[in-house]
Amino acid sequence: MVEIYKKLKGLRKETYLLLLCRMISNISIMISMLFPMILKNKLDYTSLEIGNLMLQMSLINIPGVLISGKLADLINKRYLILYFDFIIMFCWLGCFLIPESSTTVFLYIVANLFFVMEMPCYDALLSDLTVVKQREKVFSMNYLLGNITAVFAAFFGGLLFENYLKFAYLICVINVFISLVINLCFIKDTSKEESNDTLLNLNQDLKQENLSTFQVLLKRPIVILALVCNVGAGILYTQMNLLMPLNMEFLYGSSGASLFGMLLTFNSLLVIITTPLISVVFKKIQDVKKILIGEVFIVIGFGFYIFIQGVIPWYFVAMFALTIGEVFAAINQKSYLSKRIPAAHRGRIISIGLISCQICEAFFQKLMGLLIESFSFRICWIIVSSIGLFVIVLHILLNIFDKKHVKVYN
């Protein structure tokens, strides 16, 4: 425990406050978890209408995130987060005051858009406030706090949904307001930490603001490969939210939802327990290697489902492997990229990565839906595991090429 405590020390005060702000404002995911059920049960939307609306929201988010990433590189990131929080807070306040209707749906869409637009701002600002050797620490803390928030959001959201949904909106208003006050009153110094800003051994100074994002990516092909690896990993991991619950429903009918909920709870608790432990125990291993380890565990976890159909205890074994892989990958992916992207282009490249993942994941979800209609779940898991092996190969290549481009490590 002493080592874990030491792991959390040594960051700037502003970094801790920013992590706290993000944790508090993330309670908004309570409504994101409930939104499909709100549409279905409160507003009588059909499944097709819900699907179309979710697709439209994804399309709206694409230009929003790109604009946010561009703005994050041009103006003060802290101010952007403040502006976005103001808009989000008033949207939730409107949802609290107005009866459930098309107006509240519109307000939710706006709140969700600006919540997503905050992501590249937060990631870029956290990178600005830390030096290279602190990046894994800060992003592992961010990941851990996000999962703690998710546990509470899911718990209280489920309790409030049936009869007290308005209080869920009110909780979101209060939390965003608290985050906004902390940011406005206590976070003053957001000057960049320039020491060892990136690790790439290049002759060109890529921090120059007059270079385009395209030029930066061309001069840093390892960043392109890393983004491709992230897209592959994202496509793979989304099956935990599509193929797995559908498989549970196919095997156990209405009881499958309860079983899947138990697996997600098990996942969240494991994340909270293992994140600080993995960060400390494996701190001497290079981040790019830890990402590879994570993808191997994730593929093993999904591969289990080829063989364990109908054997409930093994689902938890598979989820254990998936969670360990998730922790290894999640706490190192953002850290890895932030060390290899110049500060002047950080927001734009982070937003490009987010959008690439969203587009490819949406396309693959559609493809997987067609595969589920055509083949057995065992065959679908074989396809997913095969894709996972390809993703592992991509990460092996990333490890090999990374050594040629980087002169120092963590």
Please tell me whether residues 22 and 113 are part of one structural domain. Answer: yes
Give the tens place of pLDDT for each residue, 145-158.
Answer: 887 887 777 677 76
For residue 2, being part of any structural domain is answered with no
Q: Which of 165, 194, 223 is the last residue of a domain?
A: 194
Q: Which of 194, 214, 244 is the last residue of a domain?
A: 194
For residue 375, being part of any structural domain is answered with yes
Please tell me whether residues 291 and 173 are part of one structural domain. Answer: no
* Among 250-254, 323-327, 355-359, the range of highest mean pLDDT: 323-327
The pLDDT score that the predictor gives to residue 408 is 44
Report the run of H or E that residue 89 belongs to, with start and end: helix 77-97
Q: What would the DSSP string read from start to end of 267-325?
A: HHHHHHHHHHHHHHHTTTS-HHHHHHHHHHHHHHHHHGGGT-TT-HHHHHHHHHHHHHH
For residue 91, being part of any structural domain is answered with yes
Please tell me whether residues 120 and 207 are part of one structural domain. Answer: no
Please tell me whether residues 269 and 404 are part of one structural domain. Answer: yes
Residue 406's φ and ψ, nearest 5 degrees, are -115, 130
Judged against a pLDDT cut of 90, whether residue 173 lies above it is answered with: yes
Please tell me whether residues 23 and 165 are part of one structural domain. Answer: yes
For residue 1, being part of any structural domain is answered with no
What contacts 68, CB < 8 A, 6 or more positions away? 80, 117, 118, 119, 120, 121, 347, 351
Please tell me whether residues 121 and 221 are part of one structural domain. Answer: no
Please tell me whether residues 138 and 159 are part of one structural domain. Answer: yes
The pLDDT score that the predictor gives to residue 257 is 63
Task: Tell me the pLDDT band of 201, cut-offs 50, 70 and 90.
Answer: very low
User: What does the alpha-carbon distance between residue 189 and residue 81 come to, in Å, rounded to a whole number?
Assistant: 15
CATH number reported for the structural domain that contains residue 149 in this entry: 1.20.1250.20
Please tell me whether residues 303 and 327 are part of one structural domain. Answer: yes
Inter-residue contact 182 to 41 (CB < 8 Å): no
Handedness of CA 97, 100, 105, 111 (dihedral sign): positive
Least confident of 31-40, 209-218, 319-328: 209-218
Please tell me whether residues 357 and 222 are part of one structural domain. Answer: yes
Please tell me whether residues 41 and 134 are part of one structural domain. Answer: yes
User: What does the alpha-carbon distance between residue 149 and residue 119 come to, in Å, rounded to a whole number?
Assistant: 16
Give the tens place of pLDDT for each residue, 294-344.
Answer: 999 999 999 999 999 989 899 999 999 999 999 998 888 877 877 777 777
Q: Which of 172, 194, 216 is the last residue of a domain?
A: 194
The pLDDT score that the predictor gives to residue 409 is 43
Span 276-292, average pLDDT: 85
- Helices 346-374, 102-128: axis angle to 10 degrees equals 130
Span 119-124, average pLDDT: 85
Give the tens place of pLDDT for each residue, 1-35.
Answer: 445 455 567 778 888 899 999 888 888 877 876 77
* Among 99-103, 206-210, 214-218, 250-254, the range of highest mean pLDDT: 99-103
Please tell me whether residues 222 and 185 are part of one structural domain. Answer: no
> In which domain, by residue range, is 229 found?
197-410
Look up residue 201 and give its two tokens: 């051994």
When divided into structural domains, the chain yields a total of 2
Please tell me whether residues 149 and 243 are part of one structural domain. Answer: no
* Among 48-52, 106-110, 343-347, the range of highest mean pLDDT: 106-110
| Residue 130 to residues 136, 192, 298, 337, 409, Cα–Cα distance (Å) | 10, 8, 29, 14, 16
The C-alpha R_g of the chain, in whole angstroms, comes to 21
Ordered alpha helix ranges (H), 98-219: 102-128, 135-160, 165-186, 213-219
